[in-house]
Chain A
Amino acid sequence: MAKYLAKRIFYLILTLFIVITVTFFLMKLLPGTPLTNQAKLSKSQIALIYEQYGLNKPVWQQYLLYLAGAVRGNFGTSFQFSDQPVSYLLSSRIGPSLQIGLQAMIFGVILGILVGSFGAMRQNTWVDTTATVVSILGISIPSFVLAVLLQYYLGLKLGWFPIAEWGGFIYTVLPTLALGATPLAESARFVRTEMVDVLSSDYIELAKAKGLSRTGVIYHHALRNSLIPLITIVGPLAVNIMTGSMVVENIFSIPGIGEQFVKSVLTNDYPTIMGLTIIYSFMLCVVLLFTDILYGIVDPRIRLTGKAN
């Protein structure tokens, strides 16, 4: 296990390095300057300011300097938030993004498993139909549409939840619902299909014949085996939540990093683009590593160490 982990972490670092390199050179191809005031500066004025920021050096030199800094934990200073180190900008804003993302994931997947299992257990009844409708809606309604609807009805009309902004847990409810819809729908669909399959297999019949209770059969035998394919989609779902949060954060005025990503690219804020790319790719790599480990736990047939003796 330890050897496997070490190998995976090495790959993680290698992936990050490749991502940093590719992003850095692609980013430098963007037209324009990172200066907010570019429209009002002459070429010679821009040149003077570039000198101060070290942007007048050849791109390969800038790249090496960036790498040297990044290794020491210095990710540069943001242009949008002048004088703020990128590491501070991101660390002070990543909390809300992570919280919303994790809540949406947990809420969506757990509720999805429940909805899917109930649908499968009561196959071809109204319960099943409802579960199917919920998953179809969840997949087809984009999170930003759902966000606006939730905001209008539950926030403005009924006044149950705050419309926007960031405060205690109550402020996270609507964004979590909006972001959690896709994971809910996806996992409900997967669990239902898989569970229907599993429920008709021989070992379930055997378990029933053994005299196990219905819940016992579902919990010990059916559910565990139905969850394996679900783990496969956790990675893609995490990506889905990360991209969805960019819009949802704007709608609910959440002080997260979602919007910074889009804005930094549009404003050529080089240090922030790099910082966010590193964070997003790191998070994705970790999620993938996590799912791989989870496989082994849920399904002992999958060996992490490779060759079985």
Chain B
Amino acid sequence: MKINSAVKLGTVATFAAVLLAACGSSSTSSSSSKQTLNWMESSALPSMDSSTATDVVSGETMNNTGEGLLRIGKNSSIHPGVAKSYTKSKDGKTYTFNLRKSNWSNGDKVTAKDFVYAWQRTVNPKTASQYAYMYAQVKNANAIMNKKKPVSSLGIKAVGNYKVVVTLTQATSYFPSLVASPMFFPQNKSVVQKYGKKYATNAADNVYNGPFKLTYWTGTSDNWTMSKNTKYWNAKNVKLKKINFKTMKDPQTALSQYQSGKLDATYLSGQQPKNYKNSKQYVERKSASTFYIELNEKKDSMMKNKKARQALSLAINRKQFVNKVLADGSTTAKGLVSTGLASKNGTDFNTAAGVSSATSQDLTKAKKLWKEALKETGRSSYSFTLMADDTPAGKNIAEYVQSQWAKLGNIKVTNSNLPFKTRLSRSQNGQFDAVVSAWGADFPDPISFLSLFTSGNSYNNGKWSSKAYDKDVAAATGKDANNSSARWTDMVNAQKTLLNDQGIIPVYQQGKAQLVKSDVKGLIYFPTGANWDFSQAYIK
């Protein structure tokens, strides 16, 4: 019965299509009606307040319902947003943004004051924003967060309604990409105050200035809907009418929904990527996050021995790991900084700053170095624990690395897989021998990674330390901050120092495998922060 009617419907539809084609009518009229995208997320949308949101799903949603002074586009390029242009002072410390005339979804004008209000609200210690540290470069931000200065002293001023002047403590070359991220979006003061505690906790108690607006979201629902924001200044170029977001916590369920046509895209995990690798709909997305092993140099002489660290790195066959074990679009790490994050004159950072001997396998050399390290530290063998997350990914990497290290001989590695928060606390307190850590870049600049391993940095769990490295990182963020080529050289040198000394053992760069229906076009993906921009997407 069902099949019969489907066949009938199909016949009629084909017939109609032939007729239409014969009449020479254009297909645009029919395509505009189906401009609905069905998108999957693996966790629910927890927040829409750009001052307090912390997770990727919130970032992604806000990036499509809001807009900052600038906007991130393809390959992390920066485009005009609410600001139609900006100028930078010679010393790189002052930015002047010229705003266009644009509106909030309720008809209010988006003005310079909305930016001042939002930024001040985020750094206000009362807001307890977990991402306020991203404002560190803005003048007085740190003092305000530590309650040493009033909120009004923040380095952002509105000049009239359509000019924003930002003062930084020091030149920051990646400041434009910061400004384009959701944490720097404007907020409509009257709306925030009107809704008070309820502000941004559901679709209605909020206003939007981006390509889309939220039209359904209860604040705790697993589904939410965005519709085209007709008040957006560039609305004529937004093609999608509606995006339905659905939370699918189980990857198999998501795949089934994709296969039955309920979703236009789905992320793959576990064994799924292997099965769909040859599909035309299969896409791999590089994330700006690197997985690496930190060795606790404070624990004993072995981990402090450079040869031992090098041996442990040289023993790992990373290619086999990403291709056979993970097989999910992840790639071998070429350094601490993720590949594809930053480039200069078309050359990727890791092409300039990669050290192949620190990120590839050479078992013969590894065995030799391990023997020497044992001898130098007066040992006959060495046993230690490798700590990692208790997630499937954490177990994968720990088991693989354990098996690779076993080949060194005279070594005994015990694995300990712990819940994320426990692993984190132990790492930070130095309660480990070796730990698998990961870092995702907050903004598209190598310094987002490189600042981690300066001496005494709280994220430098292994306590590796190098004066040359500290000096280069300090130069890149200080004296060379406004000199892009000198800064680039500093950062290249820093990573080279870190890798040559094997301060960490880079293993892989995370990737995401995805299936996307072939009629979905114009998706913009970038590896940091908000990940997706749907403003130019359409269904063909």
What residues of chain A have their CB less than 8 Å away from a CB belonging to chain B? Answer: 30-33, 35-45, 48-49, 51-53, 80-84, 88-89, 92-93, 148, 151-152, 155-156, 159, 163-166, 250-253, 255, 259, 266-268
Q: CB of B249 within 8 A of chain A?
A: yes
The CA-CA distance from A88 to B46 in the complex, in Å, is 13
Instruction: Count residues on chain B whose CB falls below 8 Å from chain A CBs.
Output: 52
Q: Which of A44, A82, A88 contacts B49 (CB 8 A)?
A: A82
Residue pair A31, B458 in contact (C-beta under 8 Å): no
Stretch from B75-83, B91-99, B162-170, B422-430 at the A interface: B422-430
When distances are taken between beta carbons in the complex, the residues of chain B under 8 Å from A41 are 130, 133
Q: Are A35 and B130 in contact (CB under 8 A)?
A: yes
Contacts of B120 in A (CB 8 A): none
Specify the chain B residue showing the minimal Cβ separation from A163. B256
Given contacts A48-B125, A156-B259, contact A267 B421 (CB under 8 A): yes
Q: What separation, in Å, do the CA atoms of A88 and B205 have in the docked complex?
A: 16
B260: chain A residues at CB < 8 Å are 155-156, 159, 163
| Residues A255 and B222 in contact in the complex (CB < 8 Å), given A82-B52, A83-B47 | yes
* A35 CA to B424 CA, complexed, in Å: 12
Known pairs A82-B49, A152-B256, A253-B222; A32 contacts B442 (CB<8 A): no
Quick one: closest B residue to A249, CB to CB?
A: B249
Provide the residues of chain B in CB contact with A44, threshold 8 Å: 146
Contact of B422 among A32, A152, A159, A252 (CB under 8 A): A32
Instruction: List B393-437 residues whose CB lies under 8 Å from chain A.
Output: 419-422, 424-426, 428
Cβ-closest chain A residue relative to B428:
A43
The distance in angstroms between the C-alpha atoms of A30 and B426, with both chains bound, is: 12
Asked if B301 CB lies within 8 Å of chain A CBs, one says no
User: Contact: A48 with B146, CB < 8 Å?
Assistant: yes
Contact for A49 among B130, B221, B250, B420, CB less than 8 A: B130
Q: Name the residue of chain A whose CB is nearest to the CB of B52.
A: A82
* Contact partner, A148, options B126, B252, B419, Cβ 8 Å: B252
Decide yes or no: A39 and B128 within 8 Å by CB, A48-B146, A152-B256 being known contacts: no
Partner of B421, one of A52, A83, A163, A268: A268
A166 in contact with B222 given A83-B47, A250-B250 (CB within 8 Å): yes
Apart from the given pairs A37-B130, A52-B126, A81-B220, 14 other A-B contacts in the complex at a CB distance below 8 Å: A30-B422, A31-B425, A31-B426, A32-B422, A36-B54, A43-B458, A81-B44, A83-B197, A92-B220, A151-B256, A165-B257, A251-B253, A253-B222, A255-B220
Q: Does B299 contact A (CB under 8 A)?
A: no
A82 touches B219 (CB 8 A): no
User: Secondary structure at chain B's binding surface: helix, strand, loop or mixed?
Assistant: loop
Name the distance in Å between A154's Cβ and chain B's nearest Cβ: 12
* CA gap between A41 and B146 in the complex, in Å: 14
Contact between chains at B421 and A155 (CB < 8 Å): no
Is A253 a contact of B458 with CB atoms below 8 Å? Answer: no
Nearest CB in chain B: distance from A285 CB, A: 25
A146 to chain B, nearest CB (A): 14
Residues on B lying within 8 angstroms of A by beta carbon are 2, 44, 46-47, 49, 52-55, 125-128, 130-133, 145-146, 197, 199-201, 218-223, 246-250, 252-253, 256-257, 259-260, 262, 419-422, 424-426, 428, 442, 458-459
- Point out the residues of chain A lying under 8 angstroms from B253, CB to CB: 151, 163-164, 251-253
Among A32, A36, A43, A84, the residue within 8 A (CB) of B55 is: A36
B246, A253: Cβ atoms closer than 8 Å: yes
Q: Report the separation of the CA atoms of residues A164 and B250 in the bound assembly, to the nearest whole angstrom.
A: 10
Interchain nearest-CB distance for A152 vs B (Å): 7
A92, B218: Cβ atoms closer than 8 Å: yes
Is A165 a contact partner of B49 (Cβ separation < 8 A)? no
5 contacts between A and B (CB under 8 A): A31-B421, A40-B442, A40-B459, A251-B250, A255-B221
The 8 Å CB contact of A92, one of B126, B219, B424, is B219
Q: Which residues of B contact A38 (CB under 8 A)?
A: 421, 424
Asked if B248 and A164 sit within 8 Å, CB to CB, the answer is: yes
Query: Which 8 residue pairs across A and B have the least CB separation, nearest first?
Result: A32-B421, A52-B128, A37-B130, A255-B222, A36-B54, A31-B425, A81-B46, A82-B47
> Which residues of A have CB within 8 Å of B257?
163-165
Are B424 and A32 interface neighbours, CB within 8 A? yes
A83 proximity list for chain B (CB < 8 A): 47, 49, 52, 197, 199-201
Which of A32, A35, A44 has the most C-beta atoms of chain B within 10 angstroms of its own C-beta? A32
B246 with A165: CB separation less than 8 A: yes
Give, as a whole number of angstroms, the nearest-CB distance from A270 to chain B.
12
CB-CB nearest in chain A for B131: A37
- A163 to B261 Cα, complex, angstroms: 11
B54 partner residues in chain A, CB cutoff 8 A: 35-37, 82
B356–chain A nearest beta-carbon distance, Å: 29
Q: Please judge, given known A-B contacts A48-B125, A52-B126, A163-B253, whether A266 and B200 are in contact too, CB under 8 Å.
A: no
Q: Chain A CB within 10 Å — which of B53, B197, B250 has the most? A: B250
Q: Verify B46–A80 contact, CB threshold 8 A.
A: yes
Contact partner, B250, options A37, A89, A155, A253, Cβ 8 Å: A253
Contact of B53 among A51, A82, A166 (CB under 8 A): A82
Distance (whole angstroms) from the CB of B305 to the closest CB of chain A: 28
CA distance A101 to B495 in the complex (A): 55
Contact B125 A52 (CB under 8 A): yes
Contact call B421/A81, Cβ cutoff below 8 A: no
- Docked Cα-Cα span, A250 to B246, in Å, equals 13
Q: Give the distance in Å from the alpha carbon of A48 to the alpha carbon of B52 in the complex.
A: 14
Given contacts A163-B253, A163-B256, contact A266 B220 (CB under 8 A): no
**CB <8 Å contact, A40 and B425:** no
Query: A251 CA to B247 CA in the complex, in Å?
Result: 11
Considering the chains assembled together, what is the distance between the CA atoms of A159 and B2 in angstroms? 10
Cβ-neighbour of B220 out of A43, A89, A151, A165 (below 8 A): A89
Contact status A81-B130, CB under 8 Å:
no
B424 touches A155 (CB 8 A): no
- What residues of chain A lie closer than 8 Å to B222, measured between beta carbons? 166, 253, 255
Chain A residues near B419 (CB-CB < 8 A): 266
- Tell me whether A84 and B220 are in contact (CB under 8 A): yes
- CA A52 to CA B128, docked complex, whole Å: 6
Residues from chain B with a CB closer than 8 A to the CB of A43 are 428, 458
Shortest Cβ distance from B421 into A: residue: A32
CA distance A81 to B46 in the complex (A): 4
Smallest CB-CB separation from B457: which chain A residue?
A42
Q: Which residues of A contact B146 (CB under 8 A)?
A: 44, 48
Let me know if A250 and B52 touch, CB within 8 A. Answer: no
Across the interface, which residues of A come within 8 angstroms of B127, CB to CB?
Answer: 52
* A151 CB, min distance to chain B CBs, angstroms: 6
Measured CB to CB, the closest approach of chain B to A150, in angstroms, equals 12
Residues of B within 8 A of A81 (CB): 44, 46-47, 219-220
Q: Please give, as numbers and ranges, the residues of chain B lying within 8 Å of A266 by CB-CB distance.
A: 419-421
Residues of A within 8 A of B130 (CB): 35-37, 41, 49
| Distance (whole angstroms) from the CB of B270 to the closest CB of chain A | 13
Q: What's the Cα separation between A93 and B256 when bound, in Å?
A: 24
Known: A39-B424, A81-B46, A83-B47. A250 touches B125 (CB 8 A): no
